[in-house]
Amino acid sequence: MNAPASALVLSASAVIEDFPVDLTWSTAGDALVAAGGEGGLYRIDAAGASAMLGRHEPGLISAAWQPKGSCIASAGQDGAVRLWNVEDGAHSVAHRGRGWPAGLAWRADGARLAFATGKSVHVFDAEGKALLLLDAHAVTLSHLAWRGRDEVIAAGNGALFVDRIDAGSITQHVLEGAPQSLALSPDLKLAAAGLADGTLNFRYLNLNKRSRMSGYEGKLDQLAWSANSRLLATASTGAGSIVVWDFGGKGPEGSQPLQLTAHEGRITQLVWQIGGPHLVSAGQDWRLVLWKPGPAARQPLDVQRLDAPAALARWSPDGRRLAVASESGKISLYPLRS
């Protein structure tokens, strides 16, 4: 008898009176925080109980839960980065500037926080103390990600940067357009950037080698790496299909990608299970789709109907639960049954 297929099972939901712009899980995966475009910051537990943690006027851009900690970092439309205590809502302002903070991200150990404003990268400690400012980037930065303990990868129009935090140095590489997405492979060897002209650029960071794939319809705004760093799932604004590239062996150059089709509209979220083989897509067609991609696995494992177009989707750090936010403000929790 065949084993039952994996599926997402709705277990709880909550509604926030705001448009969700970010979701971030606790390290334990027992709670998450939702950030609203009108400034509300909401804590939601595994049973769906929600409470407002605080407000960030006039609105929020992003939020990030400190790994191995209880601090929430938030970036707001007022140019400020705030640090919140998730237990009591007490907060402090770590930074305030004229530009919107971009790429808000904790280092994996939770000891450092980085973000970009304009042409600068800022690095803070967990208490909100400024440690480093790298302000010699040639272009305005829109995306940022940590690479290990001492490097930050940042991207802006026409350029990809490798910032060495320990040395305070910046290395610039060519990026052939305006980035809409940036994703580092879990093994930290590859940086992939989706561009506004429908091109995928990727760079082998250790080898200083780069390549590109073109032909996407619209802007390439969705990227997701598999846990083993072999597969890169991509989706653009002009198509309802997922394109999966295989980086095994000699890499994807000259190969045919895997095409996954189950949506009838734009895919707005593409997230790979942390530590697992499952991929989730969600879109403007109100569909939430579970996949386990492979050469002989092109059909979805499960399709769920949402109450509105999907805005956000995030796996818990243990890969056991998915949080999905719809444009209506509903946050739904789906444990993975496999």
Q: Give the tens place of pLDDT for each residue, 286-337.
A: 999 999 998 778 899 999 999 999 999 999 999 999 999 999 999 999 999 9
Q: How far apart are CA 296 and CA 274, in angstroms?
A: 22
- At 44, which CATH number? 2.40.10.500
- Mean pLDDT, rounded, for 240-269: 92
Residue 162 β-bridge partners: 153, 171
pLDDT, position 109: 98
Q: String of b and e for 203-238 (b: at least 16 CB within 10 Å)?
A: bebeeeebeebeebeebbbbbbbbbebebbbbbbbe
Is residue 28 in some structural domain?
Answer: yes
Contact 177, 192 (CB under 8 A): no
The model scores a pTM over 0.75:
yes
Query: Which band of pLDDT confidence, cut at 50, 70 and 90, is reported for residue 2?
Result: low
Contact 16, 40 (CB under 8 A): yes
Supply the range of the domain harboring residue 223: 219-332
170-201 pLDDT, tens digit each: 999 999 999 999 999 999 999 999 999 999 99
pLDDT, position 250: 79
**Domain closes at, from 97, 124, 141:** 97
Is residue 40 in some structural domain?
Answer: yes
**Domain closes at, from 97, 122, 143:** 97
